[in-house]
Structure 1
Amino acid sequence: MSGPPDAQSNRDFARTRVLVTGAAGFLGSHLCDALIAQGHDVVGLDNYYTGRKGNLTHLLAHPQFEIVRHDVRQPYWGEFDLIYDLACPASPPFYQRNAIATAKISFLGALNALGLAKRTGARIFFASTSEVYGDPLEHPQTEGYRGSVNPIGPRACYDEGKRIAEALFFDYHRQHDIDIKVARIFNTYGPRMNPYDGRVVSNFIVQALKGDDITIYGEGGQTRSFCFVDDLIRGFLLVMAAPRDFTGPVNLGNPDEFTIRELAEQVIDATGSRSKLVFRPLPVDDPRQRCPDISLARERFGWEPGVKLKEGLARTAAFFEQELSLANAS
C-alpha cells in the first residue's frame, strides 16, 4: 500500500485508514475525535496502563472507529495509510512508576510502529516531547538545541526513551526512506486529563476544587508554557499533512511563559477557591524553565496556539469538577 500524497492540509487527503497508538490517553482520544471528524477510518491501540476507557466511550458505536487492547511493545499487524505513535506514559509519577517499562515503550513502541510503516508504506508521526531538551541552557528552546539531559536520573526513562525513539525515526527515514513526521510537545492541558496524573495543571486544579492547599515544588519561580489540547491536536494534523520533505522535528507548544506560582494563582481565580499556597522541595532534575520557540511551526504551517491560559483553565476546571462529582457520587 502506498503512503498518502503530499498535501497542505489533512482535508486534502482522501479517506484513509489511520492507526493511533495510545488512543485512550489524553491526547490520543482528542486526536481520534479529530480524525473521525475528518472522515477517516481509525483504529486505536491502548493497553490502558494510563489510558482511560472513558475517554473513548462516545466513539465506541461509531462505524469508522475501532479500539483494540494492545501493548505496543509487541508488533501489531494491519494495513494503514497513516500512523500516529503516541503511546507512552507522559506524567512523571506514571512514567517513573515502572521506569524500565517506560523506556521499553518508547523504544519498542517506536520500533514496531516504524516496522509497520515500512511494510505498509504508511506515513508515520511521532509524538516526541520537550523533555528531550532536559533542563535547558538555551531559552526559549529551538529545534536545533541538543538539550541538557541527565541520562541516569529518575526522569531519564522518559527523556532518553523519547530521544532514542527520535533517533530510530530518523534512521528509518535515512535507511528505508520512511515518510516520517516528528513533533516535540510542550506542556499540554485540557479536558480528559487524568485528575490524578501528577502533572502540575491537574494537581493544582484538583487541590483547588477540593479546597486543599496547593502544593508548589521549589519557590514557584520555575517557568513553563501551557498549550490547550485543541491547539495541539490542530498542530498534529498540520504536521502530518506537511509535504514529504518536511520531517521535523518541530516544536508544538504555547510560547506564553508563566511561573508555576502564576499558574497556581490563575487556577485559584478560575475555580474561585480559597486554597492557600504551600511550598515543598523541588524534585530531582526538575527543569527550571521550559518554553518553545515555535518559529518553525509558524513559518511552515501558520500554526500558533489560540486559546489563552485563562480560558483553557476554566474549561479544564469545569471538566475536573464534573469528574470529581461523578467520583463522589459513585
Structure 2
Amino acid sequence: MFVCTGYGTTDAATPLAPLTVNRRDPGEFDVEIEILYCGVCHSDLHFARNEWGFTQYPAVPGHEIVGRVARLGGGVTKYQAGDLVGVGCMVDSCRSCASCREGLEQYCDGGFAGQTYGGFEPVLQEPSKGGYAERIVVDENFVLRIPANLDPAAAAPLLCAGITLYSPLRHWGAGPGKKVGIIGLGGLGHMGVKLAHAMGAETALFTTSTNKTEDARRLGATHVILSKDEAEMAKHAESFDLIIDTVAAAHDLSPYFNTLKREATMVQVGAPDKPLPFNVFPLLIKRRNFAGSIIGGIKETQEMLEFCGTHNITADIELIRMDQINEAYERMLKSDVKFRFCIDMATLKG
C-alpha cells in the first residue's frame, strides 16, 4: 500500500478538502496512473453529499480520469510507462456473469462493487476512492487508451458523459437516415448533440430555454425545439426515430412521446431523484418504447474514444483548480457551466 494526496469529504455536510488516500501497490496486472485531469460529473456531487444513500466516508469522488502510466505490474501487456490513458466509472466487475461475458460490464450481476468510487477495493478491504487524487491503481483490463490527437483535459468527460450518450446512440442505431432528439443541453446533452451529428443523424435539441439555440447549432443540431411551445412540438409530431433524455430533474415526458414515430424509442439517461410523471397512452397507441441506459462496457468505451479521436470530438469544458470544486458544485446546481467542469490535478497541492 502507498498513500497519496486526494480531495474529498468526511460527511455529507462538510465541503470537500485535502485528505490522504490509500492506494494498493500495483499487482501483477495493475496499472498505476498519475492523474492529470478529472472531469466533474453531477454524480460526484450526489455521492459526496450522500444523496443516493450509500456513501461511506471518507469519500473521494471522480470517475472521468485522464493521466499517464507511472508504474506497471509485471504481467501488464497492454500499456507502457508514459502512455496517456483513462479510467471511467468502473475499475472492476465479476467478469463471469452473462453481462460481463458479453462485454457489458456496466450491467454486471455483481452490482456496483466495481465502481471507481463508492464500490469496494478488495486488496485494501475498504470502499473505493475516485479520481480527485494524485494517483490511482487499476487493473489493465479497465484502463482505456486516450487518442493522442485529443486535448486530454477535454477528453476526460468522455469517460462518463461521452459513453453515457454514445452507448444508447449506437445501440438504437443512430446514423444516416435517422432523426434523433436530445433533451437538455448540459454536460450529457451537449455530448449527445455532438455524437449524434457525427454519426450522421438528423439531430435536434429539445430545450426549455431560447438562449440554447446558438450553442446547439454550433454543436451540430439541425433543429432546436422549444419543448414548452405546443405548436412547435406539433410540427415534429411522430417524426423521431430516437430521443435521449438527459435531464436529471422531474419533468413530464408525455409531450416528447408524441414526437416519436410508431415503435420508436425514448431512452432515459438522466437520473432524477424523484419518479418521473408521464401519461402511458402515447406509448400504448403507437407501440412506442421507453428504455433506460447507463454508460457502456469497456470495449464500447474504447470504441467511443476511437470514434471521438477520428471525429475530433471532446467535451466543452471549463478548467478549474482543485480548490474550486466546492464552488463548482454550487454552480453546477445552477447550470452555470458550459458544459462540463474539469479539474487540473496539477493544482491539487496548491
Question: Normalized against structure 2, the TM-score is what?
Answer: 0.33
As a proportion of its length, which structure holds more strand? 2
Structure with larger Rg? 2
TM-score, normalised by the number of residues in structure 1? 0.35
The structure that is helix-richer by fraction is 1
